[in-house]
Chains A and B, each alone.
Chain A
Amino acid sequence: DAGVTQSPTHLIKTRGQQVTLRCSPKSGHDTVSWYQQALGQGPQFIFQYYEEEERQRGNFPDRFSGHQFPNYSSELNVNALLLGDSALYLCASSFRAREEKLFFGSGTQLSVL
């Protein structure tokens, strides 16, 4: 039973570039949410996708966008990267959008130089 998988594990970009991170939810799950975790901080909610639509969004600018595919996998896109976007990006999945118990992937470490 595969858990939540994310790719890539590490990524280095420069300011102004664009990045796409990918996530496959745990088997049987249909809802994906994305979190950003800066060093020394707790994860911060970016947004949630269910039935291929963004259902909830945290306090993140429009530079952060996402997509969910019919197989429930998801992408997080960040445009015009800033140094402050350097963080661990975590994907979490659940069955149904209302579920509060989340299973997290091991994350993508993004460094913006």
Chain B
Amino acid sequence: RKEVEQDPGPFNVPEGATVAFNCTYSNSASQSFFWYRQDCRKEPKLLMSVYSSGNEDGRFTAQLNRASQYISLLIRDSKLSDSATYLCVVPGGGNKLTFGTGTQLKVEL
């Protein structure tokens, strides 16, 4: 299994839809996880941190399933501005973050 694995997409959804991305990881000892958002060829920006079973921030919910070693990101009421690539990240100690390849989301009118 890859260290961090994501479905690359793209996910094309209409405005207002709910969309979910999954990410699997191989290191069962990992304690924290992140979702980053990256707009086209710009820098990744931290979207959410996940330290326990989950985290919610407005329309965004991240959930962690340690038994199955996967993390999910749920976006409710999608906006056009949510169109981006969403990167699943597992820290490897210190500044060494292991990124997935990213899942591309396109929200359409």
Contacts and interface: CB of A to CB of B under 8 A. Distances in A.
Interface in B75-109: 87, 91-102
Interface string A101-113: 1101111010000
A95 B25 CA distance: 26
Report whether over half of chain B's contact residues are helix, strand or loop; otherwise say mixed. Answer: loop
A100 B46 CA distance: 11
Contacts of B91: 100
Interface residues of A, number: 28
A107 B94 contact: no
A92 B99 CA distance: 14
B22 interface: no
B96 A58 contact: yes
Given A42-B87, A100-B32, A56 B41 contact: no
Nearest to A55: B94
Given A42-B87, A42-B101, A92 B95 contact: yes
Given A40-B101, A41-B101, A97 B94 contact: yes
Interface of A: 4, 31, 33, 40-45, 48, 55-56, 58, 88, 90, 92, 94, 97-102, 104-107, 109
